[in-house]
Amino acid sequence: MAAAYSQSTKTRLLWALSLLIAFSPLIRSSEACGVSVYWGQNLAQEGSLRELCETGYYSYVNLAYLSTFGCGRKLALNFTDHCDAASGGCKSLSTEIQACQNRGVKVLLSVGGNDTRYNQLCSAQDARNVADDLYDTFLSGSNPDGPLGDVSLDGIDLDIEYPGSVNYWDYFVEALANYRTPEKNVYLSARASCSYPDRDIGKAIDTGLLNHVAVRFYEDNPQCYCSGGPERTLETWNRWSSSLPEGTQLFFGRSPNSAASQCALDVFINEILPVIKTSPNYGGVMLLNADSQISTIHQAACDSHSCGISVYWGQSLNEEGSLRDLCETGYYSYVNLAFLATFGCGRKLRLNLTDHCDADSGGCRSLSTEIQACQNRGVKVLLSLGGNDTSYNQLCSAQDARNVADDLYNTFLKGSNPDGPLGDVSLDGIDLDIEYPGSVNYWEYLVEALANYRTPEKNVYLSASASCSYPDKDLGKAINTGLLNHVAVRFYEDNPQCYCSAGAERILQTWNGWSSSLPEGNQLFFGLLPNSNAGSQCTPEVFTTEILPVISSSPNYGGIMLRALYKDISTLYPAAACSNEAFHRRQSLISVL
């Protein structure tokens, strides 16, 4: 039986849901959702790596290929016309790789490819040796003389197509997984045959150590044929989905070259995607190379995944539910743990997550597994400083700011403090929610000190929630450092610059003022409070029809920040009005603080 809600609560819930459903398909951000692509084999069609990532459509880019390895061979890249690795010409890619990673795109090195002459493994020990060489050369971030310079790639992808070969890929995967640490996750994926089980990498998949498997549904293979309808394709998908180890996501592989066996794009979008997206381990779509129809594919593949939505969690147990449930909705790119309520001026760091857990008694350490579960889904988990209660969270000097930054890193970001309030987690970064009218602030020193901890192995993500008024009197100097990844403007404040009663013009003027003034590289988020009682902000209809189409065209548009969380929205919203199958299936939290 549906829970009973007051009329005002129903109004707020419908407000929140109408926003989420209305703008989800329109939002594109650096944290693209569930689209993996191969890059490196077609210069004319692909363009540069930086340009590919800047489209905002991809979550994973597989550099194709490491074509020579194993059996004592020296590692060798083959990126065709993009660059000549043998002469050191591919080291220039290091800045493009870093640019992709700064946008939240995972960059992996794909090993194998179609030419199988020089890339096989000869034994279990050979597999371990190759894994060690790959880590030292491409993942450790400490090899400036390597083929790609001193980059720290995010992981390794297996594209193994050896008919009838003897393989040792399970040993290879196990050796790479041993390099995973709280500071650096080694992401592992594989491209598998349409036939189940895959004869080449089946044992590697069965280890349960792969983050995702992409099945090649474009093969000339009876299990993939779509000529008589999508039924056979769906049967094969279900076989794979039901057989994957728990925790491994499944991607649907397509070839933009219109392989005759694969389903036409309209059949894929209208008849296949709606079904496979209900699978609990659905991860997204894999493209063999860049596709001119990526916009259509991205929207269809990702409308139930996080698309630049930032949320706050930690202030209302009854409405928010668990952190794990929040991340598993698939809607969010960033979750801000709210709040670190006490810090600065010599005070001991202290969390306040209200009824979720008691940090003082060590009760919040149990969140470590939920935080890791969110991060494994690609959700960035940040700790938000400040909040509405400003009594015990101010900075007293520039040196105090630096000291707090050091304490934050060692306690929450480093990943080696099992006795910390959240255990030995390695959070992705820090969010500033500072609302001190007329305060003296030293936030720029805090931001600079935190940014100094950024390394090729670990990026410290920094964000802030800013006042609608520009410039923000509290965080203006911190924003001007250019070190923040994104700024979310609170467009729900009782502030003349936010008033929408006379139309959207004033809101858009304020947005443009912020957009034109942010340092290059900082993204701008539009902050909303899903509450119809906030009279200053625009209605959902005005927001979705008059505001979002304009702001989403800004070059530094990043997405949406939601400041309120409601639960069980599906019980109050007609199922037919929402096209998100995962939403209906889970009937869980649509969230934030």
Q: What is the dihedral of CA 152, 157, 163, 168, to 10 degrees?
A: 70
Tokens encoding 312? 């706050």
Query: Of the candidates 230, 211, 222, 220, which has an alpha carbon nearest to the alpha carbon of residue 255?
Result: 220
- CA 555, distance to chain mean position in Å, is 20
C-beta atoms surrounding 7 within 10 Å: 7
Q: How far is CA 484 from CA 165, 460, 481, in A?
A: 49, 10, 8
Q: Which one, of 375, 280, 248, lies nearest residue 323 by Cα?
A: 375
Q: Which residues pair with 464 in a beta bridge?
A: 432, 487
Residue reference for tokens 């009876």: 222
Pairing relation of β-strands 106-112 and 35-39? unpaired
Sort strands 350-351 and 334-342 into parallel, antiparallel or unpaired.
antiparallel
Token couple for 541: 């209809």
**CA 415 to mean position of chain CA atoms:** 19
The CA distance from 512 to 506, in Å, is 10
* Residues 378, 151: Cα–Cα separation, whole Å: 20
Cα gap 313→567, rounded to integer Å:
12
Nearest residue to 486 (alpha-carbon basis) of 363, 347, 358, 334: 334
54 is catalytic: no
User: Residue 105 phi/psi, 5° resolution?
Assistant: -85, 130
517/364 Cα distance (integer angstroms): 39
The b-or-e profile of 492-526 (16+ CB within 10 A means b, else e) is bbeeebbbbeeebebbbebbeebbeebeeebbbbb
- The structure tokens listed for 585 are 């299936």
Phi, psi torsion values for 358, nearest 5 degrees: -105, 105
Query: DSSP E strands: which ranges in 165-254?
Result: 187-192, 212-216, 249-254
Whole-angstrom distance, CA of residue 298 vs CA of residue 283? 12
From 46, 96, 435, 493, active-site residue: 435
The catalytic residues are 435
